[in-house]
Structure 1
């Protein structure tokens, strides 16, 4: 899948500037589809050229003019067709840390532990951010009420996936640290 559908899905929230979309990506889409601001701006240009989004210029005093983007009917139809189609392939993990763990035997065990602890720190940070997003989405409601009443539940469901992913990251890291600690006497003897 290209960035195209992530951008179109982000615009379901309503009109947004490129800057606002980059913030949406940081907060709600980065847990499953990260993108740099430069990638977003390039994709916005392509989508506008393809007629999937419309752009309008908003003139501002003392600031550069900004472009605001909205989904067109063609864009909505394309996004609906994409959402209805089955995924082309299952999710695959591409994780540099896992390559390092695969190759860790004979490496400095302290360096490996430090990398795992860093991953745990990242996961905790993401979980804290996701919890803030969750509170904002729920807006004082229970999850059941939100899921029953909200106009759109997709953002909440994807947030749940991000939370589950980071919670599993933490569980895996804790298990790895426990196993490394158990092996510490073996590696000192070896």
Structure 2
């Protein structure tokens, strides 16, 4: 998968400016694709040049004009090709996991603090996903929304993002508890 596919998929929700796209990535897309705003703006330029999206300038009063982008038919076709192609298994690339693997080589209490920080970040992301899911389904319960909504993709990816963060929270809390206990027991041992 390339950034272009994530941008094209986000534009299925309708016309967006680069700023709106960056906000969408921060909340709804960040659980499966990370991109900096400057990367998004660069990708929008490329996609427009290739005819996969169309852009237009919006004149604003009291603010700078903005450019908004819409998915083109060629962009929809590119998304259809992407969907039809096989997917590779996902993998985790996380420096905190490397640190925990090497826990015995350094101060465990530092890892406990980092794990607690990551757990707190996960709590915040869970709250964001809950808010996003509530906004998407409106007054409908989840089952009704999933059965009747004309577009369920963003909801399903939101569910995955929430589940990922819930799992992260559980793992970080457990790992911090284990390392805290080991650190305490090592401090209680008499020196040889």
Q: State TM-score, norm by structure 2.
A: 0.93
Length, aligned pairs only: 189
Q: Which runs of 5+ in 1 are unaligned?
A: none
- Residue in 2 aligned with 1:75? 75
Q: Mean Cα displacement is larger for which, 55-64 or 15-24?
A: 55-64
- Residue in 2 aligned with 1:136? 135
Q: Mean Cα displacement is larger for which, 47-56 or 175-184?
A: 175-184
Q: Which runs of 5+ in 2 are unaligned?
A: none
- The DSSP-based 3-state class of the residue aligned with 1:54 is strand
* Whole-Å separation in 1 of the counterparts to 2:29 and 2:99: 27
Q: Deviations over 1:86-139 (max 9, x none)?
A: 11x211110010111122213112111101100100000100111111110110
- Residue in 1 aligned with 2:22? 22
Q: Deviations over 1:42-97 (max 9, x none)?
A: 0000000111001111122222221110111000011011012111x211110010
How far the C-alpha of 1:25 sits from its partner, in A, is 1.0
How far the C-alpha of 1:170 sits from its partner, in A, is 1.2
Contact 2:51/2:72 (<8 A) preserved: yes
> Is 2:114 the counterpart of 1:115?
yes
* Whole-Å separation in 2 of the counterparts to 1:181 and 1:62: 55
Q: State TM-score, norm by structure 1.
A: 0.94
Contact 2:22/2:37 (<8 A) preserved: yes
Please tell me the root mean square deviation across aligned C-alpha atoms, in Å.
Answer: 1.3
